[in-house]
């Protein structure tokens, strides 16, 4: 007992945090693996702004987490079970000198203990005691983790019922939100991140960490399906929700790349809805956007949401309408026949010209030809296809039919 004061049983983590503080004579906080506050020592007034913000918000502020990543503190904590000394960053993020240690169960991190060195520096002996404290906290954190995993399973089941339309009665949906202690905001969107390969269990932990340490959006529910991360989110900025969603997409993809080396993540999000019976519809919107982006990767490169698909929203509807019809765009047929006979590329030239809103210089640059050459080609296209480029109706029809052709070919 002399060598390890933390072998004694304790009823709560709060009681344990107080015990560590008493032994080491400094303020203590205990966090889970996602930097959510689990307990803090209560009988010591010595502190700093970062600790106060953590206690008030019940989780470490995002700016503090970001700085600790930049400074190398968190990457170090993810690799060792030894105490790590954190330098003073009072001016940058209000964080004074402290020592941190990870709480491990085999090769998994369950949480962290932070000891503030306000007016003292922990000795080697005290650092050994901190290590013993981390070992003793393991069982308590395992119990919390088991309870949270069960709750996560309930979250996942509910979310899949919403996504697949198996729960569509408004009262039932609201009851489930209430039972999961979620207050649904007035509006929502479905946001999907698509990875190049199926998401591994290690990547799941990294994703969970980023989502639970982000303050940019309210994330109500999330789940993983093969290579997709699906979220139910609510923007706080009602006037510019798409700007906020774009910002979140950029932040998440950048951090996945910067911290974990995972890149080429594409993301789309639905329209903003107020009726939670339409979660399934919002999800289908995101799948439609991915389908269009796959067929038109260049044209839709900068598009993240259904609203901004514009005319591309109509392609599947046009295809559905033309089923069983013998529709042929005679202008395009004439151009295709000419290309086939003369081994030319007038159809491609037409598409690039229309994509560039009839701008000769921009289209010529994309096609890598002289503007005069392109002018001659456009004149030939007009003659062969009987096309009047001053007629917006004819141009719009040609543009749509070209895209429909491309969609079918893809």
SS3 assignment for 299-329 = CCCCCCEHHHHHHHHHHHHHHHHCCCCCCCC
Which pairs from 147-154 meet CB under 8 Å and 24+ separation?
151/180, 154/180
**Calpha distance 161→159 (Å, rounded):** 5
Token pair 């906020």 in the structure block, residue:
244
C-alpha pair distances (Å), 410 with each of 267, 293, 296, 403, 407 = 21, 11, 9, 10, 5
- Which residue from 225, 218, 232, 228 is spatially nearest to 159, judged by alpha carbons? 232
Residue 404 phi, psi (nearest 5) = -60, -45
pLDDT by position in tens, the chain (length 410)? 457 788 777 778 898 999 999 999 999 999 998 898 999 998 667 788 888 888 888 889 888 998 999 999 999 999 999 999 998 898 888 888 999 999 998 888 999 999 998 888 999 999 999 999 999 888 888 888 887 778 888 899 999 999 998 888 999 999 999 999 999 999 999 999 999 999 998 999 999 999 988 887 899 999 999 999 999 999 887 788 988 999 999 999 999 999 999 999 999 999 999 999 999 999 999 998 898 888 888 888 888 888 888 888 888 788 878 877 788 889 999 999 999 999 999 999 999 999 898 999 999 999 999 999 999 999 999 999 999 999 999 998 999 898 888 888 76
**Calpha distance 270→405 (Å, rounded):** 26
Decide the pairing of beta strands 228-234 and 218-225.
antiparallel
Q: List domains and CATH numbers for the chain.
A: 13-137 (3.30.450.40), 164-312 (3.30.70), 328-409 (1.10.10.2840)
Decide the pairing of beta strands 189-194 and 98-105.
unpaired
**Calpha distance 401→394 (Å, rounded):** 11
Taking the CA of residue 72 as centre, how many other CA atoms within 13 Å lie in the half-sphere pointing to its CB? 3
Kind plus residue range of the DSSP H or E element containing 37: strand 37-40
Residue 32 phi, psi (nearest 5) = -85, -175
Sheet with 84-86: strands ordered across? 37-40, 28-32, 108-116, 98-105, 84-86
- Which residue from 150, 144, 135, 78 is spatially nearest to 109, judged by alpha carbons? 78
C-alpha pair distances (Å), 381 with each of 329, 364, 394, 403 = 14, 15, 13, 18
Report the alpha-carbon angle 39-44-48, nearest 5. 80
**Calpha distance 246→253 (Å, rounded):** 11
**Calpha distance 83→62 (Å, rounded):** 22
């Amino acid at each position: 007992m002399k060598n390890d004061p933390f072998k004694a049983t304790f009823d709560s983590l709060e009681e344990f945090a107080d015990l560590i503080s008493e032994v080491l004579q400094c303020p203590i906080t205990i966090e889970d693996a996602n930097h959510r506050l689990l307990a803090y020592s209560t009988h010591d007034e010595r502190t700093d702004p970062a600790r106060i913000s953590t206690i008030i918000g019940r989780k470490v502020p995002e700016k503090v987490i970001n700085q600790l990543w930049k400074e190398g503190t968190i990457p170090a904590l993810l690799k060792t079970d030894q105490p790590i000394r954190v330098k003073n960053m009072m001016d940058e993020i209000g964080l004074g000198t402290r020592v941190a240690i990870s709480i491990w169960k085999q090769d998994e991190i369950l949480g962290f203990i932070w000891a503030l060195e306000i007016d003292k520096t922990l000795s080697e002996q005290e650092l050994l005691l901190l290590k013993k404290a981390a070992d003793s906290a393991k069982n308590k954190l395992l119990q919390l983790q088991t309870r949270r995993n069960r709750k996560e399973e309930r979250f996942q089941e509910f979310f899949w019922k919403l996504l697949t339309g198996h729960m569509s009665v408004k009262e039932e949906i609201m009851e489930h939100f209430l039972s999961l202690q979620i207050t649904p905001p007035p509006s929502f969107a479905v946001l999907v991140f698509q990875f190049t390969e199926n998401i591994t269990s290690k990547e799941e932990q990294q994703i969970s960490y980023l989502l639970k340490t982000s303050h940019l959006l309210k994330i109500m529910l999330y789940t993983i399906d093969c290579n997709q991360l699906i979220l139910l989110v609510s923007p706080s900025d009602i006037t510019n929700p798409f700007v906020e969603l774009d910002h979140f997409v950029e932040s998440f993809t950048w951090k996945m790349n910067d911290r974990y080396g995972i890149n080429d993540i594409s993301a789309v999000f639905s329209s903003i809805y107020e009726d939670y019976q339409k979660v399934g519809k919002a999800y289908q919107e995101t799948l439609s956007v991915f389908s269009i982006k796959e067929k038109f990767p260049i044209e839709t490169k900068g598009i993240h949401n259904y609203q901004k698909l514009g005319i591309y929203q109509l392609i599947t509807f046009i295809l559905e309408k033309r089923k069983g019809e013998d529709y042929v765009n005679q202008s395009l047929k004439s151009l295709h026949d000419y290309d086939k006979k003369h081994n030319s590329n007038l159809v491609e030239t037409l598409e690039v010209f229309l994509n560039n809103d009839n701008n000769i210089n921009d289209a010529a640059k994309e096609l890598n030809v002289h503007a005069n050459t392109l002018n001659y080609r456009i004149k030939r296209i007009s003659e062969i296809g009987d096309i009047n480029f001053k007629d917006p109706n004819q141009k719009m029809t040609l543009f749509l039919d070209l895209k429909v052709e491309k969609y079918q070919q893809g």
